[in-house]
Amino acid sequence: MATMPAVLVGANVGGRPNYMTVAWAGVACMNPPMIAIAINKARQTEKGIMENETFSVNIPSSEFSVETDYCGLVSGSKVDKSEVFETFYGQLKTAPLISEFPVNIECQMRHTLELGSHNLHVGEVVDVHVDEDCLTKGVPDTRKIDPMVYSNSEYCRIGEMVSKAFSVGRDYKK
Amino acid sequence: MATMPAVLVGANVGGRPNYMTVAWAGVACMNPPMIAIAINKARQTEKGIMENETFSVNIPSSEFSVETDYCGLVSGSKVDKSEVFETFYGQLKTAPLISEFPVNIECQMRHTLELGSHNLHVGEVVDVHVDEDCLTKGVPDTRKIDPMVYSNSEYCRIGEMVSKAFSVGRDYKK
C-alpha cells in the first residue's frame, strides 16, 4: 500500500507499558467501531495483547517523528520503552495511552487471525481521547492533529487537498 | 484514524466489474503478503467478493479524484460502474483491475470476519501490477504514484517528508 498511517500501538507487557510503531493499522468496522492491527508474532507487543486482550492505538503529531521511529527500531524485549512517553490509562486499565500524542484510542480485543509472520488483531474501540486543541466544532481535525503517513521508508505530513470527498464525484461524466 | 488510503476495491458482480472506493484498507501480514479491507455488508462489492472469493485493490493517482469519489458516492446496485475505467484481468480471472491506475493488487480471499455493519476480508496478494514509470530502481515510488490520503472528508496528496524511517530514531535520547 502506498499510504499507511504511522501510529504507536500500546500494550502492557508484564504489567509495564510498551509501545511499538505500526503502519499496518486501519478501520475494520463502523458499527461497532473496530480497528485492525497487524503485529509481528515475535514482538513484545504481541505478548502484551494476548496477555491482557487490550491494546491502544496512539496517533503522533509530526513533531514526534524521532520517538515514533525509535519505538519501531528497538524491541521491548531488549529495551524498556516504558519511559519514552508519559503513560496514562483510561477505561481499560491495561491499555497504556501516550499523554504527549493528540489522539489515543482504547481497544478491547475481539478477534485474532493467525496469518503467518503476523497476527491480525481486531479490537473494538472502547474510548477515544482527543486533545481539546485538535478539535474543530467538536470533531477531530486532521490539520491540527498533524499526523504522519508512512511510505517508502519516510514519515510524511499530509499534503494539499486535492478535492472534497462525497462531493467532487457528483461532477463525474463519462 | 487520522490518515487512511483512498483506494478502489474491484470485484466482479454477476460477471461484470464493479469498483468501490474504500478508505478502510491496510496490510494484514508480511509473509505471506495479505491485505485487509472492510466492506459494508449492503454493498454490491460484498456480493462480488463472496461470489468469486477474489478482489482487487487499485491505487489511484491524485488526478483521478473525481472518478474515485464517484465510485464511493454511487452504489453498483443502482449504477453500472463497469465503464468508468478500462478493466483488465491478471492471474485471477475474476478480480477486475483498473488500467488507468498506477498500482493494481490482485487478492485471493482467505478469511472473512463478520464484525457488524462491515465484513473484514483478508486476501492474499497473488500479484501486483505497477506502471513502469512509477518505479525507481525497480521499487514502487510513492512520489511518482502520487496516491491520495483520505481524511476529514478530503482527498489529500502526500506532503513533505518529516524524517527518514528506520533512521531518525537512532538520534533518540531521553
Nearest-Cα distance to chain B for A63, in Å, is: 8
Chain B residues with CB under 8 Å of A20 CB are: none
Nearest Cβ partner for A27 among B24, B153, B168 = B24
- Chain B within 8 Å of A31 (Cβ-Cβ)? yes
Backbone dihedral region for residue B3 (phi beyond 0: left; psi -120 to 50: alpha; all else: beta): beta
The radius of gyration of chain A from alpha carbons, rounded to an integer in Å, stands at: 17
- Asked if the Cβ–Cβ distance from A62 to B162 is below 8 Å, we say yes
| Cβ count within 10 A of residue A139 | 9
- Which of the listed ranges A70-84, A100-114, B67-81 does the model predict with the highest average pLDDT? A100-114
Whether the per-residue pLDDT at B43 is higher than 80: the answer is yes
CB B13 within 8 A of CB B51: yes
pLDDT at A62: 97
Chain B residues with CB under 8 Å of A40 CB are: 30
- Asked if the Cβ–Cβ distance from B155 to A162 is below 8 Å, we say yes
Q: Give the model confidence (pLDDT) of A23-79 as tens digits.
A: 999 999 999 999 999 999 999 999 999 999 999 999 999 999 999 999 999 999 899
> d(Cα A60, Cα B82) in Å, to the nearest integer?
40
> d(Cα A143, Cα A150) in Å, to the nearest integer?
17
CB A126 within 8 A of CB B121: no
Nearest-Cα distance to chain B for A14, in Å, is: 22
pLDDT at A2: 77
Q: DSSP character for B89?
A: -
Q: How does residue B147 score in pLDDT terms, banded at 50, 70 and 90?
A: very high
- Chain B within 8 Å of A75 (Cβ-Cβ)? no
- Which of the listed ranges A76-80, A170-174, B111-115 does the model predict with the highest average pLDDT? B111-115
- Chain B within 8 Å of A167 (Cβ-Cβ)? yes
Whether the per-residue pLDDT at B1 is higher than 80: the answer is no
- Chain B within 8 Å of A163 (Cβ-Cβ)? yes
Chain B residues with CB under 8 Å of A110 CB are: 115
Residues 6+ apart with CB under 8 A from B129: B90, B97, B103, B104, B105, B106
Q: Give the helix ranges, DSSP H, for chain B.
A: 44-52, 65-73, 142-145
What is the predicted ipTM? 0.96
Q: Give the model confidence (pLDDT) of A115-167 as tens digits.
A: 999 999 999 999 999 999 999 999 999 999 999 999 999 999 999 999 999 99
pLDDT at A174: 74
- Asked if the Cβ–Cβ distance from A172 to B24 is below 8 Å, we say no
Nearest Cβ partner for A2 among B115, B145, B156 = B145
- Chain A within 8 Å of B71 (Cβ-Cβ)? yes
CA–CA distances in Å: residue B158 to residues A134, A157, B88: 20, 7, 28
Chain B residues with CB under 8 Å of A168 CB are: 65-66, 69, 155
Q: Which helix (H) or strand (E) holds B64?
A: none
Nearest-Cα distance to chain B for A42, in Å, is: 13
- Chain A within 8 Å of B20 (Cβ-Cβ)? no
- Chain A within 8 Å of B169 (Cβ-Cβ)? yes
Nearest Cβ partner for A26 among B4, B6, B30 = B4
Q: What is the mean pLDDT of chain B?
A: 96
CA–CA distances in Å: residue B92 to residues A66, B104, B105: 42, 12, 10
Instruction: Say how many CB pairs under 8 Å bridge A and B.
Output: 280
